[in-house]
Amino acid sequence: MPTLDWLNRDAAFRLAHQVPYRLLEPVSAHGDGDARNLLVQGDNLEALKALLPLYRAQVKCIFIDPPYNTKSAFEHYDDNLEHSQWLTMMLPRLQLLREFLREDGSIWVTIDDNEGHYLKVLMDEVFGRLCFVDTVIWQKADSPRNSARQFSSDHDYVFVYSLQPGWVPTRLERTEEANSIYSNPDDDDRGPWLPGDPYANKPYSRGQYSIAGPTGRTFAPPPGRFWRVSEEKLRELDADGRVWWGPTGDARPSIKRYLSEVGNLVPRTFWSKDEVGSNRTSKNEMRALFPDAASFTTPKPERLVRRALEIATDLDDLVLDSFLGSGTTAAVAHKMGRRWIGIEAGDHAVTHCLPRLEKVLAGEPGGISAAVNWQGGGGFRFLRLGAPVFDAAGRIDPQVRFASLAAHVWQQETRSAYVSPLPGAVAGTPLVGTHDGRAIYLLYNGILGDRRPEGGNVLTLAVLQALKAVVPHDGPKVVYAEACRLGEARLAAEGIVFRQIPYELAGR
């Protein structure tokens, strides 16, 4: 497959693996403190790495609005990376983000012409061309910018990719505007309808005949075209009142398409400012939220994010935005009854996201609130990135708690998220959980008590006997510990694979 090349591409491909593994430190709880919603302040590469053990394959929709590389210095962040650096910034983040997606998940990325076409090729490589769903054109401008030297840009793109090919979007609720083109000129009991095209372009063996209408006038398909149904079927539909021959009965027949029988609306690729708001809409939303503070300069309108979440998520699904900006995705997800994780590196995580989300909990009436009948409620936790788990020499920071390391070990061994309680786990013991018949043990922080060598962090015969007594398991076992005093033969006889901490832990 053709791929994009740039300076440091190879290094960029190693970055996601090399980024230090940090823990997340709780800072504060807001509203009812619902721990299912998280605002994280920190660089998203490190934050994603820290969150992955807990949320691998859990996220239904990722909506990100990364810096577009417009060469501007915005008030709250700089948007001026050298072209290769921008690609190097995006690649490892996209790679990590992909790991968060559920089987039925999708990722939505807003972008413009500065990097859009390069991003498309990059995303083709990370997500697979078969998983490219479509490009949405969002009409961001209300009016032309006459000062533009060449063209006044009216739109941004939203690239949509799914984790699996063949992803099916949720259809959108019908709007009054979409319904307004249906009418009922003949007072049909089945309600309003649209005259459907009776012809097919593709050859149809039973689609070439002449048929007489109510006035005796006969009709045949135009040259090269065919009736879309057979003569018998057309007569059957006519007998049932489903064929329209025009107001005087001598027009060519149309097959009625009833409003009551058409489904919800398939998403389209052009999203107008009237439907989902424009840059002006989001600026007004910002002003209403922060009348006294400096507005965040590059927000998205709430309705734009709402449209994406309507198509890509259901109630209670988890939404992730790792370039949170002023907090739009989190605010919209919250108002729509979705769970959310938002990551923002800048100070505006505190100056904008936090107060905005607190206002959401209090029921602020702006943005999509009226449309979704948002009354307030719920909560979230605010977290920051903590110290790296491993120091420069590769040792584990002694502050790291057993549960945190267990989450890391679990996801490394099973490639699945750590959801408490894990299957087979026994709290307060080294048994982290069982997966596919394999028990995963972690000897760390003296979990077995201080009487044993190195506080029980070494796999000795005595520790093995203790494990067998406290948390026995008949099948294969994996034991993570600082050292092992058992010989190869003993390990094999016991069905144990030993992994040494910290050397065999990924993420250093």
Ligand X SMILES: C[S@@+](CC[C@H](N)C(=O)[O-])C[C@H]1O[C@@H](n2cnc3c(N)ncnc32)[C@H](O)[C@@H]1O
Question: Which residues contribute to the site for ligand X (CB under 6 A)?
Answer: 43-44, 65-67, 76-77, 296, 298-300, 323, 325-326, 328, 343-346
Q: Please say which residue, 8 or 208, places its beta carbon nearer to ligand X.
A: 8
Q: Please say which residue, 141 or 447, places its beta carbon nearer to ligand X.
A: 141
Angstrom distances, CA of residue 173 to CA of 88, 170, 178, 275, 368: 39, 9, 10, 13, 16
CA distance from start to end of the chain:
32
To ligand X, the closest distance from the beta carbon of 252 in angstroms equals: 51
Q: Please say which residue, 44 or 95, places its beta carbon nearer to ligand X.
A: 44
Angstrom distances, CA of residue 328 to CA of 66, 276, 292, 334: 13, 13, 19, 10
Q: Please say which residue, 157 or 227, places its beta carbon nearer to ligand X.
A: 157
Token digits of residue 306: 């709402």
Token digits of residue 86: 């921008």
To ligand X, the closest distance from the beta carbon of 36 in angstroms equals: 21
To ligand X, the closest distance from the beta carbon of 94 in angstroms equals: 12
To ligand X, the closest distance from the beta carbon of 348 in angstroms equals: 6
Contacts of 358 (CB under 8 A, 6+ apart): 30, 31
Taking the C-alpha atoms of residue 98 and residue 122, their distance in angstroms, rounded to an integer, is: 13
Q: Please say which residue, 299 or 366, places its beta carbon nearer to ligand X.
A: 299
Pure H helices in 227-353: 231-239, 273-276, 279-289, 302-312, 328-335, 348
To ligand X, the closest distance from the beta carbon of 123 in angstroms equals: 17
Residue carrying the six token digits 């398409």: 257
Taking the C-alpha atoms of residue 230 and residue 283, their distance in angstroms, rounded to an integer, is: 56
Token digits of residue 49: 């790495």
Taking the C-alpha atoms of residue 401 and residue 405, their distance in angstroms, rounded to an integer, is: 7
To ligand X, the closest distance from the beta carbon of 231 in angstroms equals: 57
Taking the C-alpha atoms of residue 332 and residue 428, their distance in angstroms, rounded to an integer, is: 39
Q: Please say which residue, 110 or 414, places its beta carbon nearer to ligand X.
A: 110
To ligand X, the closest distance from the beta carbon of 117 in angstroms equals: 19
Q: Please say which residue, 303 or 499, places its beta carbon nearer to ligand X.
A: 303
Compute and round to an integer the Cα radius of gyration of the chain.
30
Coil vs helix vs strand at 172: strand
Q: Which residue is nearest to ligand X (CB)?
A: 325
Angstrom distances, CA of residue 305 to CA of 63, 176, 278: 8, 21, 12
Q: Please say which residue, 93 or 477, places its beta carbon nearer to ligand X.
A: 93
To ligand X, the closest distance from the beta carbon of 431 in angstroms equals: 36
